[in-house]
Amino acid sequence: MNLRNQWPVLPIVAGLASGLLTGCGSENGDSGAGGSTVVMGMSDDVLATDPASGYDPGSWLLFNNVFQSLLSFPKGGTEPQPEAAKACAFSDAQTKVYKCTLRDGLKFSNGDELTSEDVKFSFDRMLKINDDAGPAIMFPMLGSVDTPDEKTVVFNLKVPDATFPSKIASGAGSIVDHRQYDEDGLREDGEAVGSGPYKLDSFGEDSAVFSVNPNYEGTAEVQNSGVTLKFFHGDQDKLKEAIVDKDIDIAYRGLQAGDIADIENDSGNEGIDVVEGTSAEVQHLVFNMDDPVAGKIGVRKAIAYLLDREALVDQVYEDTATPLYSIIPAGIAGHNTAFFDTYGARPSKAKAKAALEADGITDRVKLTLWSTPSRYGPATDDEFKAIAKQLNASGLFEATVQSVPFAQYEKDIEAGKYGVYVKGWVPDYPDADNFTAPFFGEGNVLGNNFTNSTITDTLIPGTAAQSDRGATDTDFGELQDIVAKEVPVLPIWQAKQYAVVRDNVYGLEYCLDASTVFRFWEINKG
């Protein structure tokens, strides 16, 4: 699976926190399309314009604005609500048959009518192409899609999955025009035909231009006349320069922690505001359970006892993240503080030493921490150097840091060459399932050789089948406690999400919530 773990520039949490805001929008889709064109810059690239391929934050930003899904996440909310559908529900007690009825008047941006045929085509096509860089990996439970009539879609699942509505509400549920896409191959012309609030007018190496889709029927109320998205290809300095010089209206996903602090504290930056939002993007230390050093429980527990998250967040990320004490982040139903409860908030050399001695380890532990700043941002190397310093200060470790390009990094993880390495996660949908099943279920995307039968055979399938998501808290709590006890991963931080905007730009607070959906339509430029 391709982790949606683009480097977070700041630890930007694109998570799934439960929000306090309520969704709003017109039921007739009348956009009004007032305001001016908004120019936004970001460091992430958009890797795909075809929803059967893209599985990265930049691509999903495009999908969420150009395409419709049957359901969507309202601003500030984590419960999927009807979007292209006017109603959806499980029609059986086993959560294996999910039925949606489409709203009236749906059309693609080119004027083609959107019917159930397009919905079925979109899912069948995604699964058939099964692109390595695509979201098909999210739907192993999907058996077939039926279309009893033009307005009705029925999803038949192989196994119960109460999180299915959240999955189809994500960018992975994007509906394409069956007349415009090849069922056997990806679209490679850089164009996109969807039924979302915006249409893609052009897509190039350095920018993408979006205008309001006059055919849109849905819940969004468009507050501008279009968006131009400029790509800075990881050049943080140029992105900062562009927002300070007012060449762009918004800087999103690309400024370092220090940049944010500089902009906030520099009185010369009048007319620029920093907007902070919630997020559930997380970062973990990952331990290869087959490694001769990291595979020892005493080593992993000792590191858990010595890690000072507060210092890392303060010194490396300048409080643009928060310490994370479990694999399910704060704001997600089911979150607990298993690592805090087990290992405490402050480092303990005595407990770390005892953990090593209980595993028969009395010499200093030689350890390499593997980093890849090309994926997680340049601060990742500094973070890992700080972690190594913390471990070495205890006198129990001789830790060093190695930094490698991402392509080599992934190959080496697959080959089992690393004992301790970094992984980040930008969730696909706001449910605890998305922070557990990918990491600890079948096909573990972390590549760390961890297995636990209680988790894989009981807790993950049991929580997936529970339609009352609040009733899963106990099982998710048990799962988190098992992970804290066995330490196949060590949670480090949960990010905050930021955008820097000119002071005549409004609505960004509705774009930076835990749903991971950046809503172009909420932005208003006065």
Cα–Cα distance measured from residue 79 to residue 478, given in angstroms and rounded to the nearest whole number: 24
Residue 385, CB half-sphere, CA atoms under 13 Å: how many?
A: 9
Average pLDDT of the residues in 74-81: 89
Cα–Cα distance measured from residue 469 to residue 433, given in angstroms and rounded to the nearest whole number: 10
Q: Tell me: pLDDT of 2 over 50.
A: no
Most confident of 231-235, 327-331, 439-443: 327-331
Q: For 409-439, write each residue's pLDDT tens digit.
A: 999 999 999 999 999 998 888 899 999 999 9
Average pLDDT of the residues in 442-467: 93
**Residue in this structure with the two tokens 């098992």, named with its chain if needed:** 482
Contact 182, 115 (CB under 8 A): no
Instruction: Give me the long-range contacts of 137-141 (CB less than 8 A, separation at least 24).
Output: 137/1, 137/2, 137/55, 137/443, 138/167, 138/170, 138/172, 138/428, 139/167, 139/172
Average pLDDT of the residues in 320-329: 94
Q: Tell me: pLDDT of 15 over 60.
A: no
**Quick one: what percent of the chain has pLDDT higher than 90?**
74
CB atoms within 10 A of CB 92: 12
Which three-class secondary structure state does DSSP give residue 168? helix
Q: Tell me: pLDDT of 19 over 50.
A: no
Hey, what are 356's tokens? 């090593």
Helix axes 236-244, 257-265, angle to 10 degrees: 20
Which residue from 205, 263, 197, 193 is spatially nearest to 230, judged by alpha carbons? 205
Cα–Cα distance measured from residue 434 to residue 329, given in angstroms and rounded to the nearest whole number: 11
Which residue from 76, 108, 62 is spatially nearest to 217, judged by alpha carbons? 108
Cα–Cα distance measured from residue 328 to residue 15, given in angstroms and rounded to the nearest whole number: 10
Answer left, alpha or beta for residue 389, where phi above 0 means left and psi between -120 and 50 means alpha: alpha
**How would DSSP label each residue in 299-368?**
HHHHHHHH--HHHHHHHTSTTSEEE--SSSPTTSTT---HHHHHH-SS--HHHHHHHHHHTT--SPEEEE
**Residue in this structure with the two tokens 């992430």, named with its chain if needed:** 44
Nearest-5° angle of CA 148, CA 154, CA 158? 135
Contacts of 445 (CB under 8 A, 6+ apart): 1, 3, 438, 439
pLDDT at 378: 73
Which residue from 253, 276, 254, 252 is spatially nearest to 264, judged by alpha carbons? 276
**Quick one: what percent of the chain has pLDDT higher than 70?**
93
Structural Rg of the chain based on CA atoms:
23
**Average pLDDT over all residues of the chain:** 90
Q: For 126-160, write each residue's pLDDT tens digit.
A: 999 999 889 999 999 999 999 999 999 999 999 99
Average pLDDT of the residues in 348-373: 97
Q: For 78-103, write each residue's pLDDT tens digit.
A: 889 999 999 999 998 888 999 999 99
Cα–Cα distance measured from residue 425 to residue 77, given in angstroms and rounded to the nearest whole number: 20
- Write the CA distances from 205 to 230, 232, 306, 388, 427, integer angstroms: 9, 10, 45, 39, 26
pLDDT at 268: 65
